[in-house]
Structure 1
Amino acid sequence: MISLSLCGIRGGVGTTSLLAAMGHALNRLDQRVLLVELCPENVLGLHFNLAAREAEGWARAMLDGQDWHRQAWQLAPGLCLLPYGRLDEAEQLRVEQRLLASPREWNKRLAQLAGQFDWVLFDLPQRLPGHVGSIRGDVRIRVLAPDMACHVLLQRQGEEGFLLVNGYDSASRLQQDLLLVWRQHHGERVVPVVVHRDEAMGEALACKQSVIGYAPQSLVTEDAISLATWCLSREAAC
């Protein structure tokens, strides 16, 4: 079982939508996939037609003394989702404090899932160190938008994990230049697949679907499948 985490270098780079697409793509490639929402915003389920007011999830269960296993939803054969749950800010802080006190909590939980899934994909928040530190996955990917804000933020961070460009417009000279600079400077850390800007991604969320289910012939669906294929080939080579 392989654990993979996505985290945006800043907000608004499309990390959650991308994670939903990757999970769906891996499942289409005959992989058993569990998607885990570690972001308190709790929006990953919206990509799979969960009700916006759905309150249950693993964090809600943690505070209520319930079994986190029972919070998972089966979306399709071999594709499951574990939402965060609806919490107010004070409750989110309590979960953060518990995770800070129990480092690598999710690594312990992964041990309980061994044999049930081929991939566990985590949607990580940006500024909750307890949440982020509770998982030390096999593959960690930082999601970037091809803009100057992400370029500056990237220079301030350490050389850890892979870098994935999302929302790429091949007609933009600036974005072409940024991608070239990142590939030259960071080398193999930059995932060779770029995810192109495509209106289908936003439309899919409006229809409460992953983009693969909403627009199977779209460019961004092709990118998501290529990304899933890269993940499989990379792990096969290790």
Structure 2
Amino acid sequence: MNTVAIVSTTGGAGRSTLTAELASLLAQRKHPALALECDPANVLGFHFGMREIPEDGLGAYLDAPTPGAWARAGQRSDDDVLFVPWGSGGAPAALANAAPDWLGRLLAQVDLPPRGVTLIDCARWPSPLADQAIAAADLVLVLAPAQPETCLTLRRLADALTAQGKTARYVATRLQPARQLHVDIVALLQAMLGQDMLPYHVHDDSSVAEALARSESFCRSTPHSQAAHDMNGLASWLSAWLEAATQESRP
């Protein structure tokens, strides 16, 4: 099993949306998928049809570290994705006193097949929860929305990932090609990141918000939209990365 942390340095980058859609698309490509919410904002659950914040979840483990309790909060979506919400637990005191590797130790208990993948929707970086997800990840997928704040904050994260020896790839999101500023920002990011920036830019698309309002996956409800096309390209790249990583891990 491989673990992918989905990270950003700014709000509104699309972390929860991409986590949910990638999990569904990878499940369609026969990768057993676990979507894990490591963010007290509890946004990811809405992409899987939840309307209320559950009591149990990953956050409850921090309040009372009972073995297996967090996993029992898991739910399976209609498209065969296993989803574990954050829930209502995880008080600030519990977060402050948590072990530095608690998330990695929990994920070591997950028994997914070799082609399986855990996708972590984590809180905005820098934060202790984002650091936990990055430490546990085999691949860090950094979302870089086409906005000036990204240019001001992304270099620090990129340097931190390099210092930790992490494999990282970067994806431009919320792109509007008709806006020259967005085009310029993407060009700047490409010059900064080189080959680590993937060519699969995720465009700003009204179908995303409309699908979420209907509790639907936009890749299923509007398969010919630009955003669905972008996500399928990204999912195909990630599927190929998972296959290569699985081959490398075999004795």
Evaluate the alpha carbon distance shift between residue 95 and residue 200 of structure 1 in structure 2; reply closer, same or farther with a 3 A threshold.
farther
Aligned partner of residue 81 in structure 1, secondary structure: strand
| Separation in structure 2 between the aligned mates of residue 105 and residue 65 of structure 1, nearest angstrom | 10
Q: TM-score, normalised by structure 1?
A: 0.89
For residues 103-140 of structure 1, the C-alpha deviation after alignment (integer angstroms, 9 at most, x for no partner) is 22122122211334700000111257432233320110
Give the corresponding residue for 2:94: 95
Matched residue, 2:27: 27
How many percent identity over aligned positions? 21
Structure 2 residue corresponding to 1:230, chosen from 212, 232, 237: 237
**C-alpha deviations, 1:54-101, integer Å up to 9, x for none?**
3321212442555111010011364110000024xxx530331243xx
Tell me the distance in 2 between the aligned counterparts of 1:21 and 1:212.
7
Could you tell me whether the CA contact under 8 Å between 1:104 and 1:133 is conserved in 2? no
**Are residues 1:197 and 2:193 paired?**
no
Is it true that 1:120 corresponds to 2:118 in the alignment?
Answer: yes
> Displacement, 1:156?
4.0
Matched residue SS, 1:168: coil
Shift, 1:228, TM fit: 0.9
Task: Tell me whether 1:82 sits opposite 2:84 in the alignment.
Answer: yes
- Aligned partner of 1:176 in structure 2 is 183
Count of residues paired in the alignment:
233
CA separation in 1, counterparts of 2:189 and 2:65? 45
Per-residue deviation, 1:47: 0.6
Change (3 A) 1:173 1:69: same
Unpaired runs of 5+ residues, structure 1, are none
Moved more, 131-140 or 26-35: 131-140
Tell me what 1:206 maps to: 213
Confirm or deny: 8 A CA contact 2:54 2:87 kept in the other structure. Answer: yes
Aligned counterpart, 1:71: 73
Gaps of 5+ in 2: 162-167, 246-251
- The whole-number CA distance in structure 1 between the counterparts of 2:119 and 2:30 is 15
Measure the CA separation in 2 of the matches of 1:59 and 1:121.
17
The 1:95/1:217 distance shift into structure 2, 3 A limit, reads farther
